[in-house]
Amino acid sequence: MDTNPQEEVVVTDYQSGQKQSQEPSQAPNQADRPTYTPGGYQPPYGGNMPPRPQNYLVWAILLTCYCCMPFGIVAIVNAANVDSRYNIGDYDGALRASRAAKNWSLAAGICGAVGWLLYIGFMIAMAFLGLAADEVSAWV
């Protein structure tokens, strides 16, 4: 039994479409091929990416539900972009999306707090005006 068979390797040249046979020692090595990340992007930083930025997705969802829906939706979109940009190797884009998600979440929280304070103030003012109207009608 032959332990080292000499097989022919058939390699197709994709530019010309012709097949060529080569000895196994001349066949292209897997290590000679370039490696690609999803989306065709090469990772920057020599493949050593910094840690993933925080995406603030939980804050964006909570603030959308309880405070300010328009700003919260923008925060959710930016928070979702953090992970997708990081996964394709765009660390700077992920960092920008993280900062935008944080800023929009903060804006949603502030608008929600101001809105609740205005609502409570309006209700207190209406209660006092209602009491005052009852007292004035009692005098007449």
What would the pLDDT profile of 59-114 be if each residue is shown by its tens digit?
999 999 988 889 999 999 999 999 999 988 888 999 999 999 999 999 999 999 99
Taking the whole predicted model, whether its pTM rises above 0.75 is answered as no
Which residues make beta-bridge pairs with 20?
Answer: 11
Residue 36: pLDDT band with limits 50, 70, 90: very low
Return phi, psi of residue 12, to 5°. Answer: -100, 125
Percent with pLDDT over 70 in the chain:
60
The CA distances from residue 105 to 47, 69, 100, 111, 129, in Å, are 31, 10, 8, 10, 36
Q: Are 85 and 44 in contact (CB under 8 A)?
A: no
Which residues make beta-bridge pairs with 9?
Answer: 22
Which residues make beta-bridge pairs with 10?
Answer: 21
